[in-house]
Amino acid sequence: MKLIVGLGNPGEKYELNRHNIGFLAVDYLIDTFNARQISSKFKGELFKSSDFLFLKPSTFMNLSGESAVLVKNFYKIDNEDIVVVHDDIDLKTGALRFKRGGSNGGHNGLKSLDAYIGNDYWRVRVGVGRPERKEDVVKYVLSDFKKEEFECMQKLFSKIEKAVSDIQNAAPKFSQKEC
């Protein structure tokens, strides 16, 4: 059983923010894999399909590890079976990269996960671009996608589905260039 964790912030206010691409991708995967909600415990919403658990932490981004570790420990999931989908400002909008382990790159959701479960888990890095000025990063990631950016993101969801399926069998075999 694989655990797919989408990083984001709960609440309507954040729904279409760049920082919520992990939640948006997991929502797509929940529909695609016909998952059903099995719990709202674990400090998050947990869904299950035949092969996957899907988690949307309700702890806000900076505390995502609190939720993930509860599910990991309850279901006895190894880190090699955890896939985290998150935004990445170091990638151009629409770029998609996969890797296992590594640095959190300053991403507060990943910092929290690393603190609670270590850093040896799969990452699906979804490029959301970067603001022109470094001091605008927080405002930027907490802003909504522009229409054309959101359309690009929606096209990536099927590629994320393929990557998650590939991780189920072996390492993903492709890297996606931006839209």
Q: Looking at the annotation, which residues are catalytic?
A: 19
Q: Residue 176: what residue type?
A: Q
How many beta carbons lie within 10 A of that of residue 128, not counting itself?
A: 26
Segments of the chain assigned E as strands: 2-6, 36-39, 44-48, 52-57, 82-88, 96-100, 122-127
- The strand pairing partners of 123, in sequence order, are 84, 99
Q: What tokens does 51 get?
A: 């092969």
How many beta carbons lie within 10 A of that of residue 92, not counting itself?
A: 14
Long-range contacts from 102-106, C-beta under 8 angstroms, 24+ separation: none
